[in-house]
Structure 1
Amino acid sequence: MESILNSIFTRRSIRKYTNQAVLSDLIQTLLKSAMSAPSACNQQPWHFLVIDDRNTLNKLSAHNSGYSMLEEAPLAILICGEIEVATLKHFWTLDCAAATENLILAAHASGLGSVWLGVYPEEDKLTYIKEVLNIPDHITPFSLVSIGYPAETKESENRYDEDKIHYGKW
């Protein structure tokens, strides 16, 4: 349990990467971790697009200043939802968020750095990403995770705030 808690407490958003490639076995582990996330009614409405093409990463980076780290990243994974297959359609975003969190925790535990880049529900990002990555109409991009071996270190932060905890009733 200590290693799980350590990963949770020490994970930070990493935006600078070395040029070392992430091996396919490790990518597979990240994807298995993402797909092990809880899902409402076990609907698993997610799809994952692995992006390691330098030109594609640069295109995505150029669209939005918040995506600039993709210019250095050797890898990104796009988490998408297939809303029509979801049993409980209104929970697809929660399912994809859980998968995203599992992915970034697995990356950190594996010695990788990552940062969660928001996509959904911003229409301009959705449109651009769908166009660049040739995403079918029935698939909705949710989040994009930039991944690579860290070229920066960040101290862990204690984000625990007793003032935000309530017991029994507000």
Structure 2
Amino acid sequence: MNAIFKRSSVRQFTDEPVAIDDIERLMRAAMAAPSAGNQQPWEFYIARDETTRMALAATSPYAAPAKLAPCVIVACTRTDGLRFVPCAPLDMSAAVENILLEAANIGLGAVWLGVAPDPHRMAAVAVALGSPRGAEPFALVAVGHPAHRPEPKGPSRYDETRVHWI
């Protein structure tokens, strides 16, 4: 899968909007992620309007790309009906990674902006979203057409000293 090796964190975007079809592809990829007990703990909020994106960008000193991206996906964890609560962050991480990989696959740029487990960031994102009921913010994913594409880290990150054969 070449998307794994061509993916890079893109933090600068053009003004070109992200097509609804592309956003739907990202959501389909996210929801194809593995999930403990198939609990699928995710809820996704798509922020395309400038006011919400600016509010999201202000939730963390590291969230500035949210103001530059034409689309910000807010991945949230459902708070009710989960069978394996401790596994929800793992499920959410897999869903976010799938978004990043599909973005690279279709030629978009994206960057994961951490929210959870920082309670202050989680609360700030909830306020920016209008305090959605039954969902806790997990991560922001700024998505758009890359202004430039950084060199992917890809296979060059491979470190054979971290592989232990037993």
TM-score (norm 2): 0.95
Aligned counterpart for 2:158 among listed residues 146, 152, 160: 160
Secondary structure at the aligned position of 2:43 is classed as strand
- Measured against aligned partners, the alpha-carbon deviations of 1:37-61 in whole angstroms (never above 9, x if no partner) come to 0001111011100110111111221
Match of 1:61 in 2: 57
Judge conservation of contact 2:14–2:144 (CA < 8 Å) in 1: yes
Aligned counterpart for 2:6 among listed residues 10, 18, 26: 10
Q: Does 1:132 align with 2:101?
A: no
Pick closer, same or farther for the CA change 1:153–1:57 going to 2, 3 Å: same
Secondary structure at the aligned position of 1:30 is classed as helix
Identity among equivalent positions (%) equals 38
Aligned counterpart for 1:82 among listed residues 78, 84, 90: 78
* Matched AA of 2:78: E
**C-alpha separation in 1, matches of 2:108 and 2:10:** 9
Count of matched residue positions in the alignment of Structure 1 and Structure 2: 164
* Matched AA of 1:159: R
Judge conservation of contact 1:47–1:79 (CA < 8 Å) in 2: yes
Judge conservation of contact 1:67–1:117 (CA < 8 Å) in 2: yes
Q: How far off its partner does 1:129 sit?
A: 0.6
TM-score (norm 1): 0.92
Q: Does 1:25 align with 2:17?
A: no
Secondary structure at the aligned position of 1:104 is classed as helix
Structure 2 gaps, min length 5: none
Match of 1:122 in 2: 118
**C-alpha separation in 2, matches of 1:111 and 1:137:** 34
**C-alpha separation in 2, matches of 1:122 and 1:114:** 21
Q: Does 1:52 align with 2:48?
A: yes
Judge conservation of contact 1:83–1:92 (CA < 8 Å) in 2: no
Secondary structure at the aligned position of 2:141 is classed as strand
**C-alpha separation in 1, matches of 2:58 and 2:43:** 24
Judge conservation of contact 1:49–1:78 (CA < 8 Å) in 2: yes
* Matched AA of 2:79: I
Structure 1 gaps, min length 5: none
**C-alpha separation in 1, matches of 2:60 and 2:100:** 21
Q: How far off its partner does 1:139 sit?
A: 1.2
**C-alpha separation in 2, matches of 1:97 and 1:69:** 19
Of stretches 136-145 and 91-100 in structure 1, the one that deviates more from structure 2 is 136-145
